[in-house]
Chains A and B, each alone.
Chain A
């Protein structure tokens, strides 16, 4: 193809965008609406997953050890636990440290009045998991170790978190399918608005002997440019809404700030921007390509 012809097709495509103002507006609005919903949903979803992961990581199992255990035995048990694949981190907390922490958390003030450690038998391991669903397996393993007196599970049950994760998975699949269907429906409607105008033009081109490629190129370029515009608008919208919503929640529910650890907007957007633009261009391409194809058989 001549470079001349390529420029002509691109120029015609861009010209079409301004020529058919209403069509452009309707298409941009449709794509924007769909991608806006997608963007919002994606932001909520990733934050939710992030929070669940946070909660999971904070989840730990405590294995209390028999009083007066030798340092060698402690090291030995530690070695056994570390080897487990579901374990991400193991911390040994001696009886003295446990007592000091406890006193501090409960504002005991000066603890030198205690002549002996009331929590002498509370030396323990804090064990963090990388997969909460394995918690019960780990607990029974720990209970089987000689020298482990008692195992305390976290107050947030592992089952609850695993459940939340599964629900998020199902809901996301459901919402993505619905959004996909809705956007296809809306876009095919929008595209058919513009058909009558184009039908005649395509027919004329075909009568003169234009190839399918030449006929299609301006329309496809138009569709892709509309797709790009239609993805920038919702991205900008989601960006502002995201920041506003984050500030609102933090102000309104300060007590939850620990649980509601929001992802910074930049992190969310590293993935959202390319995905959104890709979807917009893809929708624009497919929409215009298939619409023109219907009219190519002249």
Chain B
């Protein structure tokens, strides 16, 4: 099956969906919009790749879901929350239902692995007793149990991304957003991260991954959304990486 633009899974209601975007446009300045009338539905528990050229609007889409940006027009609903209607002071609580990782890891350089992950728990005011239980547990999930004392500088790229992943997951988010998580990694580490993401997805978390990694996208046989110049040009179940031309 191959469709473009709107697609809604049979039997789903909007409030049941993880992510709903309807006729969403976003312009940074006057001129070409970064997103142009994008409509997108993602069910709870799905694993979705977003691919597309550089500048096609993938990161802009992620930022709209995080409520870092507001759309110029359209509706964005995440976990049943209308993102546009959120008040400023409601944003932190909203973000706690999302986990996010980036290409550049964004770890706190002056803190060790344990503190980087514990940080996410401190923000939601978990008592120390629980932090001491949860952090080692998630670190062993991502395969870093032995490195909790290391500083980010002392870790490989793959390890740093796993720390970032552990931080994103420790608060048990319903949705995980990953913006080019393997962009700085070698093939071996890229596969490790992707396998972790799949494992996380198998435990029920909705996962949305922006990537350029053709080989992995083709091999994993997941839903693939392809973007070009701010438009969704293809949305395929068990899709592959679409070549230019």
Query: Which residue on B lies nearest to A2, using beta carbons?
Result: B125
Within 8 A of A (CB), among B88-132: 89, 92-96, 98, 100, 106-108, 110, 119-120, 122-125, 127-128
- In angstroms, Cα B89 to Cα A185, docked, is 31
Q: From residue A106, how far is it (CB to closest CB) to chain B in Å? A: 81
- In angstroms, Cα B64 to Cα A234, docked, is 50
**Is B14 among interface residues, defined by CB-CB distance under 8 A?**
no
Tell me whether B120 and A208 are in contact (CB under 8 A). Answer: yes
- Give a binary string over A192-231; 1 marks a CB under 8 Å from any B CB, 0 the rest: 0000000011011111111110100000000000000000
Q: Residues of B contacting A2 with CB < 8 Å?
A: 125, 127
Tell me whether B66 and A207 are in contact (CB under 8 A). Answer: yes
Tell me whether A205 and B123 are in contact (CB under 8 A). Answer: yes
Q: From residue A124, how far is it (CB to closest CB) to chain B in Å? A: 77
- In angstroms, Cα B106 to Cα A109, docked, is 95
Within 8 A of A (CB), among B210-245: none
Tell me whether B119 and A208 are in contact (CB under 8 A). Answer: yes
Q: From residue A146, how far is it (CB to closest CB) to chain B in Å? A: 80
Tell me whether A1 and B93 are in contact (CB under 8 A). Answer: no
Tell me whether A209 and B127 are in contact (CB under 8 A). Answer: no
Tell me whether A204 and B122 are in contact (CB under 8 A). Answer: no
If the complex has contacts A19-B110, A200-B106, A201-B108, are A208 and B125 also in contact, measured as CB distance less than 8 A?
Answer: no
Tell me whether A4 and B127 are in contact (CB under 8 A). Answer: yes
Q: Residues of A contacting B92 with CB < 8 Å?
A: 206, 209-212
If the complex has contacts A207-B95, A209-B96, are A8 and B122 also in contact, measured as CB distance less than 8 A?
Answer: yes
Q: From residue B210, how far is it (CB to closest CB) to chain A in Å? A: 15
Within 8 A of B (CB), among A158-208: 200-201, 203-208
Q: From residue A217, how far is it (CB to closest CB) to chain B in Å? A: 11
Interface size class of B (residues with CB under 8 A): 20 to 34
Q: From residue B184, how far is it (CB to closest CB) to chain A in Å? A: 16
Tell me whether B106 and A209 are in contact (CB under 8 A). Answer: no
Tell me whether B108 and A208 are in contact (CB under 8 A). Answer: no
Q: Residues of A contacting B125 with CB < 8 Å?
A: 1-2, 4-5
Query: How many of A's residues come within 8 Å of B, CB to CB?
Result: 20
Query: Which residue on A lies nearest to B101, using beta carbons?
Result: A207
If the complex has contacts A2-B127, A5-B122, A8-B122, are A209 and B95 also in contact, measured as CB distance less than 8 A?
Answer: yes
Q: Residues of A contacting B119 with CB < 8 Å?
A: 205, 208
Q: How many Cβ-Cβ contacts under 8 Å join chain A to chain B? A: 50
- Give a binary string over B159-190; 1 marks a CB under 8 Å from any A CB, 0 the rest: 00000000100010000000000000000000
- In angstroms, Cα B128 to Cα A298, docked, is 28
Q: Residues of A contacting B94 with CB < 8 Å?
A: 209
Tell me whether B167 and A208 are in contact (CB under 8 A). Answer: yes
Residue among A204, A207, A211 with max Cβ neighbours from chain B (10 Å):
A207
**Is B68 among interface residues, defined by CB-CB distance under 8 A?**
yes
Q: Residues of A contacting B98 with CB < 8 Å?
A: 209
Query: Which residue on A lies nearest to B124, using beta carbons?
Result: A209
B108 contact from A1, A204, A210, Cβ within 8 A: A204
Within 8 A of A (CB), among B184-208: none
Query: Which residue on A lies nearest to B98, using beta carbons?
Result: A209
Q: From residue B33, how far is it (CB to closest CB) to chain A in Å? A: 22
- In angstroms, Cα B107 to Cα A205, docked, is 10
- In angstroms, Cα B89 to Cα A212, docked, is 8
Q: From residue A211, how far is it (CB to closest CB) to chain B in Å? A: 5
Q: Residues of B contacting A201 with CB < 8 Å?
A: 108
- Give a binary string over A1-28; 1 marks a CB under 8 Å from any B CB, 0 the rest: 1101100100000000001000000000
Tell me whether B120 and A298 are in contact (CB under 8 A). Answer: no
Tell me whether B123 and A214 are in contact (CB under 8 A). Answer: yes
Tell me whether B68 and A298 are in contact (CB under 8 A). Answer: yes
- The 23 listed contacts between A and B (C-beta, < 8 Å) are A2-B127, A4-B128, A5-B122, A5-B125, A201-B108, A203-B106, A204-B107, A204-B108, A207-B106, A208-B95, A208-B123, A208-B167, A209-B93, A209-B94, A209-B95, A209-B96, A209-B123, A209-B171, A210-B92, A211-B92, A212-B89, A212-B92, A214-B123
Which residues of A are interface residues toward B (Cβ below 8 A)?
Answer: 1-2, 4-5, 8, 19, 200-201, 203-212, 214, 298
Which residues of B are interface residues toward A (Cβ below 8 A)?
Answer: 66, 68, 89, 92-96, 98, 100, 106-108, 110, 119-120, 122-125, 127-128, 167, 171
In the complex, besides A5-B125, A204-B108, 8 extra interface pairs with C-beta distance below 8 angstroms are A4-B128, A203-B106, A205-B123, A208-B171, A209-B98, A211-B92, A212-B89, A298-B68
Shortest 9 CB-CB distances between A and B: which pairs?
Answer: A209-B95, A209-B96, A210-B123, A209-B92, A211-B92, A208-B120, A5-B125, A2-B125, A204-B106
